[in-house]
Structure 1
Amino acid sequence: MNQSEVGETKSHGESKFVRMTNRCGLMTQKNLPVPLKSISVEVQVKGHVATVTSTLQYVNEEERPLEALFVFPLPADAAVCHFSAKIGEHEIVAELKEKQTARDQYDDAVSSGQQAFLLEESEESSDVFKLSVGCLSPGQNAAISITYITELSVQADHALRFCLPAVLNPRYTPAGSAAGIVSEISSVCDSVPYTLTLSVHVSSPKPISKLESNCTLDPLVFLDSHHTHATVNLSSGHKFDKDVELFVYYENTHQPTAIVEAGVTAAQPGSLMSDPVVMISLYPEFPEEVMSSLATQGEFVFVIDRSGSMDCVMHHGEGAQMRIESAKETLLLLLKSLPMGCYFNIYGFGSRYESFFPQSVVYNQDTMDQALKRVSEMRADMGGTEILQPLKHIYSQPCYPEHPRQLFVFTDGEVGNTKEVLDLVRRHVHSHRCFSFGIGEGASSALITGLAREGCGHAQFITGTDRMQPKAMQSLRFALQPVVNKISVQWKVPDGITVDTLSPPINVIFQGQRSLVYAQIKGQSSESSEGSVMIQYNLKDQPVTNQLHFCLKPAEDTGLMIHRLAARSLIGRLEQEERAGGAEVESVRSRMVKLSVEAGVNSVHTAFIAINKHNRETVKGPLIQRRIPTRESFQACFYAPDVTASGMSMCAPSFHDLSRASNEARYLSLSPAVYSYSYKARSAAVDFVNSQETEDKYRKACKRMADSASPQWAAPEPQKDSFLQLVSLQKASGCWEMNSALAQVFGKTEDELTNQKPAQVDGSVWATLLALIWLYGYKMEHQVEWQFVAMKAASWIRSQNVGGLSQCVCDGNVLLGCQVTQETLGI
């Protein structure tokens, strides 16, 4: 079987690998020109919503007509609402139709010599789309525009995050999963051969404080004296090697708001598009006395991706850490931050999974030490990314009374069966909360945000030079908040008006976190034009009510963005009903298609189709099919200069090109002299593997190659961080012991610490006090990472009932060269 043919094997316990033609290593770019030349993006940010228009410039530089395929990422749950193509002077606006109908029309048009364009959503993951550009004549240009609307997520510092995905990771497809668009993801070995330009316009009723990005931006330009309108551009030279993230800061951004949008007069009466729609942004605020006493109970289950791709770097900059190493450091902080007496367990998963303990155990010094030893031994050596089975095992375990289950999932998100995973989480939503972390560029937003949404938790993305640890600790603070239950949303409107809530029920509320609610407003009234929405819930068994009054008169110039987001939200609910099965599946699917077409937004059962009827040329011979590279996190695999052991010219295959048997032969039979070794080689290749026997063979082969490789391929030894050294020395109870390792963190000797110890305190109290002073004195910029470590330490010191602490603090400040007060330490 060669690499241009379909490679597929099935056997018990094996994964199914599906052909991806024209991948990196199958043909060089010299004999496979790429027709996509540039992408320009315009972003209009209005409050909490962004409207994004991407224009893709194509040109056929070959001597024959071709069909180009481009598989690319969009934000999860984006409402794609416009698709058009301009060829010469002709612009064709696409229609949204039932998917199979659209596919048939596309095939018929291309086969008859007409130019056609098809845009469809992946059936496996809502953040992956495929664009088919059919029958481009030699030398012809085409400009394709795609417009979508997306909600901006709220960060812990109240920034609104917009992400333009530029990196699309390979998606590992486990055994028994259907292969579709996700399996056609294309890759490139170095930089993509097209450019990106990006311009952003921000407008808001509230003043704009600042705008930040993980990429280099031109200076922000304010368009008015009130700073409510501003523009900014992405600086030239962006390499497309990472997602583009923008963080918008408004003044008082966390205040509740309501936007009412008028319907379309030409729409069918009674339909969603004909009536006004309201979007409510709610920010419940908990009483201070509740937030000052976080929970001390719970079952904390940490699920760590140990697939081969976790052996990639966090980012492409200097000093980047390996993903698995960052995860290990994060686990250290989490384990040290847990409250005494809770329960915990740690799972690692890849093609298989394992847990540290048969079931969750009580958190104490002994179990924490056992877990930390296992964490230090963790490697990215477990094959592909199959998260479904470990989740099933976790959910099969009985919960502990009075200890609510909190699930923390860390993954680079390269999963092919996303919807199946989310359905499983949704079925168990009443037994746990799920906090998810997308690691590195290109993590699936559909998976990461979906896990948090369906598991009533919170999602975090760690990209660029972000550190994983502070984001994990922010989520731990959410997990330790009291559980909010009995949540209800009630509307109060004048007589003659009714409100139908379109969004899924609110199942989770966190302090300061936004909840979005979409609703359809029906009827008319001659009375007051004001309505209100009231959210009620129980917090620590006490009823709480938050109310927002709003004007029923529609806002001006919203461009139907609220209607389309509401429609996309409702379509998402219908998808859940469809996957749940039952006698009404066909009816639900029909409703989904009808709503999608009426609202003009994408769904899994519809596709955009555009046909250029001005062009009808006879096609001579079959179309040349070209797949357009997407920037991936796996760029360089093994490299063969000229020949392999069999004498065939090749570069290494990537993710899904070959069956496991074929990969095993290609990777394991080659002598070390044929290939150079890099750590990325293992990360890209090991995800093919899904049997323990093959994994063992593969690791031995990698070791042979590593041993024979030149020194420049060896990963540098990470430097020991003094902060992490200090945290690693803390006991489960919260105290530190006096020893030389602690003294080394302070840059002292053990004798220096002992000689300065006040007489009224013992060694552990003195050591713990010094650790607290050092954290507040030298590591305040990382306080979010050690806040729970410090809380445990302060609580332990208070429990010792030591006299003369004020003098001890003074002595500690002198010894360490700090000026920290006793009040600051919380003792």
Structure 2
Amino acid sequence: MEICGLVTEKNESVPLKSISVQVLVQDHVATVSSTLQYVNEEERPLEALFVFPLPADAAVCHFSAKIGEQEIVAEVQDRESARDQYDDAVSSGQQAFLLEESAESPDVFRLSVGCLSAGQNAAVTIIYVTELSVQADHSLRFCLPAVLNPRYTPAGSRAGIVSEISSGCGSVPYTLSLSVHVSSPKPISKLESSCSLDPLVFLHSDHTQATVNLSPGHMFDKDVELFVFYQETHQPSAIVEAGVTTAPPGSLMRDPVVMISLYPEFPEEVMSSLATRGEFVFVIDRSGSMGDMMHHGKGAQMRIESAKDTLLLLLKSLPMGCYFNIYGFGSDFESFFPQSIMYNQKTMAQALKRVKEMQADMGGTEILQPLKHIYSQRCHPDHPRQLFVFTDGEVGDTKEVLDLVKSHAHSHRCFSFGIGEGASAALITGMAREGSGHAQFITDTDRMQPKVMQSLRFALQPAVVNISVDWTLPDGITVDTLSPPINVLFQGQRTLIYAQLKGESSGGSEGAVTVKYSLKDQPVTNQLHFCLKPTEETGLSIHRLAARTLIRSLEQEERSGAADVEGIRSRMVELSVQAGVSSVHTAFIAVNKDSRQTVKGPLQQRRVQTRDLSLVIALMQANCAEVRTHASHYSACYAEEQSFRCSKKKILRTFTERAFLKMSNWVPEEILNFFRRGSATAPSDQTDSETAPEPQKDLLLQLVSLQKASGCWDLDATLADVFGKTEDELTNQKPAQVDGSVWATLLALIWLYGCKIEQQVEWQFVAMKAASWIGSQKVGDLSQCVCAGNVLLGCQVTKETLGI
């Protein structure tokens, strides 16, 4: 009955009442202050546990609690010391608060609230700083996670904090308010969000400062995403932040710290011809949760169906002669081919046939074993390995996965995709970081295809090698680089470097950083000059992010089996305490020692939910009698391969992974998978009004599905159907001197540019292959053919636009 621990024994509302968030965005760094309002509505003193998500690379730098009019500010201590102090305080009846990071996943935190007297209120404030990631449309993304999905923990592994988290369906029993203040040297173009916002208010005429609020009534049932657009956002920049004069001499917090933002620009001749070789390995999550919907709006797809459509685009976009393979994973894994196979028409067709058959039917989420199997396969000479991983990110062994990816960073690049609300930012961003690749998140109504095709463009870019960073500084100043060595650069993507500046300048006020690398055997140099004078009003956000970066590197060094583990751990704790930021070996502890009276009576332990679990709890408290009653009926439905819409009266649409594990001793695995897909109910529960409408055909995907691996199309009725024509109409308008396949391929290109230009990022490689194929054919007057095609399809596309 552990799953019921998230509510009071009377099944009443949890003690968290509201969350108030203030976000200060300075250029591409955000400082986030969250205040959580608690109230103990019970008749006994309460100890509450609130497990919640934060961005993966956030540096928690402040934690305080206000009880009545008295505020107590936490301090960072060694983790074990902090736990001992918390236990001692609680056992003696003192009010205490403990904030600690998960040992398994750095994006999960646990807040213990000890000894709240009956009827007492407490306001807990947490402040953290984080970097904003660059998106495909050049915006900067800020995300306030609302959902933390249950992390699947393989049998035999340590559960830890991660296993204490649950999510279900329904709304959370607390409210959220959020205000954002944006400040930047560059003018702000606009702010967009996945949630409803009040109008943007500019504070200055030059549009360098603005505020915006989340509209009232937000239920916090999904992540809050903000996208900040600046003018000239891709300009290299540097921020120098002054240190703290009271910090120990020579320490990170005493000296100035610089944050360099680089946007490398590759020579145009290199980018004009993308790589035509490579080994492309696609790893698809097929756990039960992939049967969930991408979002709750109109026209939503199941996650697995969106992944299948994306695989279609990827397979059609690969260059002839490369190698590829596809893996599906859940509790186990399988691959389409014993090893990566050469890409041609035959192997592409075989793969597409199996893609159509894929379902979210493979149980839990265990990604470690398929990755180990992939890495055990030999690499193909002259075909660099590109790994594409799609998952909703629910794993409990995140750090072990990241260590594995990092240990094979020399042999591949890893591109990761977090699907749906609650995907672990630590897993998704971490895999891309350790695998020298790029991470994407597909949430709410985002289409998966354009984001994945952007990553494919990165994967087809030639690898940047021999990267070096050199500093030019005035006499008397030295530099200590805090960031790990740069091992990947992509066109149009930001690279951050943190460095500590030591010493005193003898007169110079300018420094420079030079990044050199080789691209297709050609040397490239990018240089940025910057002023050494500290930037005003940055607080200590740059120092704290720099400390967090260094702590992460030390954690990796510790896990890799370094000889001096104790020395590394000691340095981590010292750095964490000095900078006031969290780490896996430290915790924030606050004890209200000035309380006039101790709390008396036995403590009631409550685990505070991140989302409502009332329906799960009702089922579990009834010993899942309703589930048992209908299990045989659902088994029959499954055996007959019938699909019915989910009835809320009969069964919870989505169970937590842990609930499934508890039920597995009396419910067959195929029934669990059937429930996971959310498609089981009795025929009598479905009425005509509930019948789902037929989904509209996606003409773009239809067209892409008909393309041959070489890049051409056949002239037939299925192609004509995409254009809304008959096969005779296509054939009768064909110029006499043109081959049928050339005419079909030309029409497909004209249709793409004339009717689907807004989705060009999705079909760009399909079109490149088609244009290349036409160029390889002996065709007479192409201009006349293009004119005829325009007339037939009602378009106005030029030959030059088509790239032929």
Counterparts of 1:227 and 1:787, CA distance in 2? 35
Structure 1 position 394, deviation (Å) = 0.3
Report the alpha carbon displacement of residue 677 of structure 1 after superposing the two structures with TM.
4.9
Instruction: Using the TM superposition, give the Cα deviation of residue 637 of structure 1 relative to its aligned residue in structure 2, in angstroms.
Output: 6.3
CA drift at 1:635: 9.2
Deviations 1:45-68 (A, max 9, x none): 000100000001111111111011
Mapped pair 1:455 → 2:455: no
Corresponding position of 1:68:
48
Q: Which residue of 2 aligns with 1:821?
A: 798
Q: CA deviation at 1:721?
A: 1.0
Aligned partner letter, 1:299: E
Counterparts of 2:230 and 2:107 in 1: how far apart (Å)?
Answer: 27
Residue 748 in 1 paired to residue 725 in 2? yes
The Cα offsets for residues 748-800 of structure 1, whole Å up to 9 and x where unpaired, read as 11111111111011111111111111111111110000000000001111111
Compute the displacement of 1:701 (Å). 8.5
- 1:571 counterpart residue number: 551
Matched ranges for 1:388-403 at <5 A: 388-403=368-383
Structure 2 Cα separation of the partners of residues 249 and 587 of structure 1: 44
1:382 to 362, 366, 369: 362
Are 1:775 and 2:752 matched, yes or no? Answer: yes
| Distance in 1 (alpha carbons) for counterparts of 2:593 and 2:616 | 44
**Structure 1 counterpart SS, 2:792:** helix
Q: TM-score w.r.t. structure 1 length?
A: 0.92
Residue of structure 1 in register with 2:458 after alignment: 478
Name 1:722's counterpart in structure 2: 699
* Aligned mates of 1:671, 1:754 — CA distance in 2: 51
Give the 5 Å matches for 1:183-262: 183-262=163-242
Change in CA separation of 1:637 and 1:669 when aligned onto 2, cut-off 3 Å? farther
Q: Which residue of 2 aligns with 1:176?
A: 156
- Matching residue within 87, 95, 120 for 1:107: 87
**What's the offset of the Cα at 1:361?**
0.4
Name the amino acid aligned to 1:727. V
Take 2:74 and 2:656, find their aligned partners in 1: how far apart are those partners? 43
Are the structure 2 counterparts of residues 89 and 410 from structure 1 closer, same or farther at C-alpha, using a change threshold of 3 Å?
Answer: same
Where does residue 7 of structure 1 map in the other structure? none
Shift of the 668–234 alpha-carbon distance from structure 1 to 2, 3 Å rule, reads: same
Distance 1:780 1:226, change over 3 A: same
Change in Cα spacing, 1:764 to 1:683, as seen in structure 2 (3 Å) is farther
Give the counterpart letter for 2:59 in structure 1: A
What's the counterpart of residue 5 of structure 2?
Answer: 22
Partner of 2:669: 695
- Summarize deviations over 1:784-818 as a string: whole Å, max 9, x none: 00000000001111111201111111111111111
Structure-2 separation of matches of 1:699 and 1:569: 40
Write out aligned runs for 1:274-313 (5 A): 274-313=254-293
| Equivalent in the alignment of 2:478 | 498
* Structure 2 SS opposite 1:64: coil
Q: How far apart in 2 are the matches of 1:688 and 1:742?
A: 50
Residues 781/277 of structure 1: CA separation in 2 closer, same or farther (3 Å cut): same
**Cα pair 1:636 1:681 within 8 Å, conserved:** no
Aligned equivalent of 1:16: none
Partner residue, 1:534? 514
Contact 2:63 2:125 survives alignment (8 Å): yes
Shift of 1:620: 3.8
Q: CA contact under 8 A between 1:188 and 1:629: conserved in structure 2?
A: no
Partner of 2:685: 710
In structure 2, the residue matched to 1:8 is none
Deviation of the 1:189 alpha carbon? 4.1
CA contact 2:40–2:121 (8 Å) conserved in 1: yes
CA distance in structure 1 between the partners assigned to 2:635 and 2:693 by the alignment? 22
Distance, in Å, in 1 between the alignment partners of 2:630 and 2:80 is 39
Q: Does the CA-based 8 Å contact 1:88-1:141 persist in structure 2?
A: yes
> Do 1:64 and 1:623's aligned partners in 2 also have CA atoms closer than 8 Å?
yes
**Aligned in 2, Cα 1:511/1:671: closer, same or farther, shift over 3 Å?**
closer
Give per-residue Cα distances to partners, 1:473-492, cap 9 Å, x unaligned.
Answer: 00000000011000011111
Unmatched runs of 5 consecutive residues or more in structure 2:
637-646
Aligned to 1:271: 251
- The Cα offsets for residues 407-458 of structure 1, whole Å up to 9 and x where unpaired, read as 0000000111100000000000000000000000110000000010000000
Tell me which amino acid in the other structure corresponds to 1:735: C
Q: Is 1:785 the equivalent of 2:762?
A: yes
Q: Secondary structure at the match of 2:455?
A: helix
Q: 2:390 aligns with which of 387, 405, 410?
A: 410
Whole-angstrom distance in 1 between the partners of 2:371 and 2:618: 36
Distance (whole Å) between structure 1 residues aligned to residue 90 and residue 656 of structure 2: 41
**Are 1:119 and 2:99 an aligned pair?**
yes
Q: State the partner residue of 2:22.
A: 42
Decide whether the 8 Å contact of 1:383 with 1:690 is kept in 2: no
For the residues of structure 2 that align with 1:314 and 1:668, how far apart are their CA atoms?
27
> 1:464–1:671: structure 2 CA closer, same or farther, 3 Å change rule?
closer
CA RMSD across the alignment: 2.5
Letter in 2 for 1:788: F
Could you say if the C-alpha distance between residues 241 and 699 of structure 1 is closer, same or farther in structure 2, counting changes exceeding 3 Å?
Answer: closer
Residue identity opposite 1:348 in structure 2: G
**Is the contact made by 2:168 and 2:655 (CA closer than 8 Å) also made in structure 1?**
no
SS of 2:730's equivalent in the other structure is: helix
Q: Which residue of 1 aligns with 2:38?
A: 58
1:709 to 1:183, Cα distance in 2 relative to 1, 3 A: farther
Aligned residue in 2 for 1:320: 300
1:357 and 2:337 matched: yes
- The yes-or-no answer on 1:596 pairing with 2:576 is yes
1:615 is matched with: 595
CA distance in 1, matches of 2:619, 2:450: 41
- Asked if the contact 2:653–2:676 (Cα under 8 Å) also holds between the matched residues in 1, the reply is no
Could you say what secondary structure the match of 1:581 adopts? Answer: coil
How many Å apart are 1:69 and its aligned residue? 0.8
Q: Does 1:676 align with 2:659?
A: no
Alpha-carbon offset, residue 471 of structure 1? 0.3
1:516 is matched with which residue?
496
* Deviation of the 1:497 alpha carbon: 1.2
Report SS of the residue matched to 1:22: helix
2:361 is paired with a residue whose SS is: coil
AA aligned opposite 1:711:
Q
Maintained 8 Å contact 2:27/2:184: yes
The answer as to whether partners of 1:383 and 1:688 remain within 8 angstroms in 2 is no
8 Å contact 1:277–1:563 — kept in the other structure?
A: yes
Report how many aligned residue pairs link the two structures: 790
2:773 to 777, 780, 796: 796
Q: 1:717 to 1:266 in 2, by over 3 A?
A: same
1:651-682 CA-partner distances (Å, limit 9, x unpaired): 87xxxxxxxxxxxx899578779982576469
SS in 1 for 2:289: helix
Q: Is the 8 A contact 2:153 2:396 kept in 1?
A: yes
Decide whether the 8 Å contact of 2:93 with 2:600 is kept in 1.
no
1:808 paired to 2:785: yes
Distance of 1:702 and 1:147 partners within structure 2: 37
Q: Structure 1: any 5+ residue segments left out of the alignment?
A: 4-18, 653-664
Answer whether contact 2:55 2:143 (CA < 8 A) is retained.
yes
Instruction: After superposition, give the CA deviation of every residue in 1:531-586 in whole Å (9 maximum; x if it has no partner).
Output: 11000100001111111111112122210111000000000000001101132111
Say if 1:397 and 1:209 are closer, same or farther in 2 by CA, change over 3 A.
same
Cα distance change on mapping 1:575 and 1:650 into 2, 3 Å: farther
CA 1:116–1:348: 2 relative to 1, 3 Å: same
TM-score, normalised by the number of residues in structure 2: 0.94
Q: Once the two structures are superposed, what CA deviation does each residue of 1:721-744 show, in whole Å capped at 9, x if it has no partner?
A: 111111100000000001111111
TM-superposed deviation, 1:711: 2.5
Write out per-residue CA displacement over residues 588-633 of structure 1, whole angstroms, 9 at most, x where no aligned residue.
Answer: 011100100000000001000111112253444321111111038x
Structure-2 separation of matches of 1:763 and 1:408: 36
